Amino acid sequence: MEQERLLDYKKLEVRKVRKADDEITDLIKSTVLGSEGGMQYVMLNTPERLRSYRDSLSFIALYKRNSLKGVIGLCRRITSNNGVQYPSAHLRYLTVQSAFRVERAPGKAGTLESAAGDSFKQKIFSIFRDPQLAAGDEGDGGTGPNVLYAYVESRNERSRNLINQAGYEYIRSFLTVAFSRFNPKPHPSVKRLSPEEEPAMARLLEEFYSGYCFYTDEFSFYDHKYYVLRRNGEIVAGVGAIPARYRVVNIPGVWGWMMMKVLHRAPYFRRLFQPEEFRYVILNAIYCREGSEELLPDLFGAVCAEEGYHTALTWLDDHSRLYETLRTNRRMGALNRMLNAKPGLVYALFSGLTPGETEKFYDSPAYISGFDFS
């Protein structure tokens, strides 16, 4: 069965949909992401990304008279949290803020209507507190420890209210880091990793992120595009490259206005940014041996050259050592100096964890999967 009815209320119906059909794909493709007053954009590679999640992605969908009005994706995965693994579900594609509203009728009848509507909303929220989301259809029934989490823009009040009402708690914050080159160049020490070398690299990444929470290696070697920089034959830095495309609708602030209205017409700057089709490569699963931090811009530049891009983005916990390393590096390029991004927030809900286990999520940097922004 591809769909399962979970709730119904008058003309509204909530279903679990096991994979993205044409209706869900079209809704996500047409949704303007971001928040009012912040950066707003539309993803241009949605069908490809939905397919990449394969059977690990399902949806909670809201229908009105059998017409899709909103959807939230559930990306099931195993995450490592300070070395302890938990079944987890990352909530993605939150395109349901306005669709979940229940209008109140006036007068006494409206009071009864409101009570029924509030009850329906609470039932919806209970779905997103269900441990079965992390376990999946083939899991352990949600009886063991598991983690549910989501990324929310700090400016997006609707999403924050929704996730708060569902019982999720704020855990960590993260920021966007940009890298750019007008003329990216290859580097003699940077090579694309062969598929046979990926298991050894996976062990290096696991060790590097052993003190993080929400770490997943699910897309570390996506499309076998992982690049490494070697010194004396040993890997000292590495990064996964995930091509992405956005149509940018709005960027706030003076620099945002300049980028949207003026700079993208300049001969050189247009290589870095074009609103109608902002092409960039996501830097995912960054690895760096201690003492080799200054080599990261060389690695990033070589990746841009090899992949044919001028701009790269990554997302990092803003209290992590890796973020501090890149934030203070003066070789990250012009776009990073212009960037004035507001923080993203990590919200989570825990089931079956001890207070000591839960506390580690608040005290440890969060791994932010770049694939979940592509």
Count of other CB atoms within 10 angstroms of residue 257: 13
Q: Which of 201, 207, 202, 210 is nearest to 228 (CA)?
A: 201
- The whole-number pLDDT of residue 269 equals 80
Task: Please provide the DSSP assignment of 318-340 as one string.
Answer: TTSHHHHHHHT-TTS-HHHHH--
Using the predicted structure, report yes or no on whether residue 99 has a pLDDT greater than 70: no
Q: What is the mean pLDDT of residues 262-286?
A: 86
Higher pLDDT, 249 or 183: 183
Do 175-373 and 3-172 have the same topology in CATH? yes
- Residue 351: burial class (beta carbons within 10 Å; 0-12, 13-18, 19+): buried
- The whole-number pLDDT of residue 283 equals 98
- The whole-number pLDDT of residue 342 equals 82
CA 140 from centre of chain: 26
Residue-wise pLDDT tens digits, 189-215 = 999 999 999 999 999 999 999 999 999
- The whole-number pLDDT of residue 275 equals 84
Residue-wise pLDDT tens digits, 218-246 = 999 999 999 999 999 999 999 999 999 98
- The whole-number pLDDT of residue 328 equals 87
- For residue 124, is it left (φ>0), alpha (ψ between -120 and 50) or beta? alpha
pLDDT band for 116, please (50, 70, 90 cuts): low
User: Where along the chain do its domains lie?
Assistant: 3-172, 175-373
- The whole-number pLDDT of residue 36 equals 73
Residue-wise pLDDT tens digits, 1-38 = 588 999 988 888 999 999 999 999 999 998 888 777 77
Q: What is the mean pLDDT of residues 145-165?
A: 90
Q: Which of 119, 116, 146, 121 is nearest to 134 (CA)?
A: 146
pTM (2 decimals)? 0.89
Count of other CB atoms within 10 angstroms of residue 365: 21
Q: Which two tokens stand for residue 212?
A: 């993080």
pLDDT band for 106, please (50, 70, 90 cuts): very low
- Supply the CATH classification number for the domain 3-172: 3.40.630.30
Q: Which of 43-52, 97-106, 259-268 has the highest mean pLDDT?
A: 43-52
Class of domain 175-373: alpha beta
Question: Residue ranges of the alpha helices (H) in the chain?
Answer: 22-30, 46-53, 107-127, 132-135, 157-165, 198-208, 253-261, 296-307, 321-327, 334-338, 355-363
DSSP count for the chain of H helices, then E strands: 11, 15
Residue-wise pLDDT tens digits, 128-153 = 888 777 666 655 555 689 999 999 98
